[in-house]
């Protein structure tokens, strides 16, 4: 075991010191060789006894004592040296054993960090591809819608939405793209509302869906208001709608009274109070529509007079139209009032 292994240097040094003592005693002139019947290496006690008798008979005992002290001192020094030599390699081996472990841990940490960054780059790349795909689909939808409406930007038509030469209005192009997104969200909300009605949800949940739909239409009114500032004629013409929607178009939208005619049969049965409120709303809408229609007629007369005041036979009449456009803030106001 470990204790026996540690004692080996002491046994070895003891035997070595014993041999040194014997050799010095034998070489000493005062030493007398005493014969013994049982002298052997396996009987150290008997040998020491024999040496003791020789020391007593010796005339100079200090010589043997000094030799023994010197040997004992040397024995202790050699034992300590041997123990240090045995412990030093173990510490060295421990330090060398820990070095590869630290290196492996650092390498593993670096590999984990590199793998994490690689996953993040891959995720960002996939997200970029998905965004590009969605943009491509949107562009295809816008192109198809433009073809259906007869708008060939950069193609056979050389005019803008106003009908005369000029570049396509960027504000109108942005409105068409936003309107495409608005229609997608509108279809999703309609499907969600139908599912909720079939599931017989609570009135609170149904009210949340209805308010969400109303907020969605307010967003459309905001988009139309911004587009009318860029090109009010485009918004009023309803070119961003389908042909069936353009048939019922009124100042860029629908007559509220016409919408009520469609909705009231779907709302029945109504209580007497509810029916009275619907009738009052219809009457208010009709009065507002008449006022807006009269204002539109007067505004059209003013714009026509402004355009006719120019010399149309000299060529382009864009300056006259531009002058008339400066007076169209009222027309933009009509569009906003019609939506609200």
Of 208, 240, 272, the residue at which a domain comes to its end is 240
Same domain, 225 and 272: no
Burial class of residue 266 (count of CB atoms within 10 Å of its CB; 0-12, 13-18, 19+) = exposed
Same domain, 28 and 89: yes
Of 182, 206, 240, the residue at which a domain comes to its end is 240
Burial class of residue 146 (count of CB atoms within 10 Å of its CB; 0-12, 13-18, 19+) = middle
Average pLDDT over residues 47-61: 46
pTM comes to 0.46
Average pLDDT over residues 72-85: 55
Phi, psi dihedral angles at 269 (to 5 degrees): -85, 145
Would you state the structure tokens that stand for residue 224, as one six-digit string? 């139309």
* Per-residue pLDDT band at 15 (split at 50, 70, 90): low
Task: Kindly state whether residue 112 falls inside one of the protein's structural domains.
Answer: no
- Which residues, in sequence order, are CB contacts of 135 under 8 Å at separation 6+? none
Same domain, 230 and 285: no
pLDDT at 54: 47
Q: Which domain holds residue 198?
A: 150-240
Same domain, 227 and 259: no
pLDDT at 115: 92
Coil, strand or helix: which one is 159?
Answer: strand
Average pLDDT over residues 87-94: 54
pLDDT at 310: 60
Same domain, 260 and 339: yes
Task: Kindly state whether residue 142 falls inside one of the protein's structural domains.
Answer: no
Rg over CA atoms, the chain? 55
Does residue 192 or residue 335 have the better pLDDT?
192
Task: Kindly state whether residue 230 falls inside one of the protein's structural domains.
Answer: yes
Same domain, 87 and 25: yes
pLDDT at 185: 92
**Digit-coded pLDDT (tens) for 294-309:** 888 887 787 777 667 6
Most confident of 45-49, 78-82, 242-246, 310-314: 242-246
Same domain, 17 and 79: yes
Of 240, 259, 280, the residue at which a domain comes to its end is 240
* Res. 119: pLDDT tops 50: yes
* Res. 174: pLDDT tops 70: yes
* Res. 5: pLDDT tops 50: no
Task: For the beta carbon of residue 254, count every other beta carbon within 10 angstroms.
Answer: 17
Task: Kindly state whether residue 115 falls inside one of the protein's structural domains.
Answer: no
pLDDT at 274: 87
* Per-residue pLDDT band at 35 (split at 50, 70, 90): very low
* Res. 10: pLDDT tops 80: no
Same domain, 230 and 309: no
* Res. 55: pLDDT tops 50: no
* Res. 26: pLDDT tops 50: yes
pLDDT at 188: 92
Task: Kindly state whether residue 108 falls inside one of the protein's structural domains.
Answer: no
Same domain, 9 and 94: yes
**Digit-coded pLDDT (tens) for 257-285:** 888 888 888 887 888 898 888 888 888 88
Same domain, 158 and 205: yes
Task: Kindly state whether residue 52 falls inside one of the protein's structural domains.
Answer: yes
Do residues 292 and 333 make contact, with C-beta atoms less than 8 angstroms apart? no
Average pLDDT score over the chain:
70
Number of domains into which the chain is organized: 3
**Digit-coded pLDDT (tens) for 215-242:** 999 999 899 888 888 888 888 888 888 8
Same domain, 207 and 254: no
pLDDT at 33: 45
Task: Kindly state whether residue 265 falls inside one of the protein's structural domains.
Answer: yes
Same domain, 228 and 256: no
Coil, strand or helix: which one is 306?
Answer: helix
Task: Kindly state whether residue 59 falls inside one of the protein's structural domains.
Answer: yes
Phi, psi dihedral angles at 253 (to 5 degrees): -155, -145
* Res. 340: pLDDT tops 80: no
pLDDT at 190: 92
Q: What percent of the chain has pLDDT over 90?
A: 9
């Amino acid at each position: 075991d470990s204790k026996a292994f540690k004692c080996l240097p002491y046994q070895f040094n003891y035997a070595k010191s014993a041999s040194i003592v014997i050799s010095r005693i034998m070489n000493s002139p005062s030493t007398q060789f005493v014969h013994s019947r049982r002298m052997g290496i396996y009987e150290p006690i008997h040998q020491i006894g024999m040496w003791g008798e020789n020391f007593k008979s010796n005339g100079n005992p200090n010589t043997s004592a000094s030799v023994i002290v010197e040997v004992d001192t040397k024995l202790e020094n050699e034992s300590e040296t041997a123990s240090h030599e045995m412990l030093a390699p173990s510490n060295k081996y421990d330090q060398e054993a820990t070095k590869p472990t630290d290196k492996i841990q650092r390498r593993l940490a670096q590999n984990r960090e590199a793998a994490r960054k690689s996953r993040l780059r891959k995720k960002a790349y996939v997200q970029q591809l998905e965004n590009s795909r969605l943009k491509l689909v949107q562009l295809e939808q816008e192109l198809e819608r433009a073809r259906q409406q007869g708008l060939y930007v950069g193609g056979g038509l050389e005019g803008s939405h106003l009908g005369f030469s000029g570049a396509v209005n960027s504000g109108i192009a942005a409105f068409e793209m936003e309107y495409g997104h608005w229609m997608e969200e509108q279809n999703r909300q309609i499907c969600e509302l139908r599912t909720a009605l079939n599931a017989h949800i609570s009135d609170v949940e149904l009210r949340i869906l209805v308010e969400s739909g109303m907020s969605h239409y307010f967003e459309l009114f905001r988009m139309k208001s911004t587009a009318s500032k860029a090109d009010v004629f485009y918004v009023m013409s309803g070119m961003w709608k389908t042909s069936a929607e353009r048939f019922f178009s009124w100042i860029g939208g629908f007559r509220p009274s016409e919408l009520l005619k469609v909705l009231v049969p779907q709302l029945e049965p109504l209580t007497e109070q509810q029916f009275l409120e619907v009738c009052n709303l219809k009457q208010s809408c009709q009065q507002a529509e008449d006022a807006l229609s009269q204002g539109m007629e007067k505004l059209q007369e003013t714009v026509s007079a402004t355009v006719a005041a120019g010399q149309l036979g000299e060529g382009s009449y864009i300056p006259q139209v531009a002058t008339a456009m400066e007076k169209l803030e009222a027309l933009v106001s009509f569009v906003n009032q019609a939506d609200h």
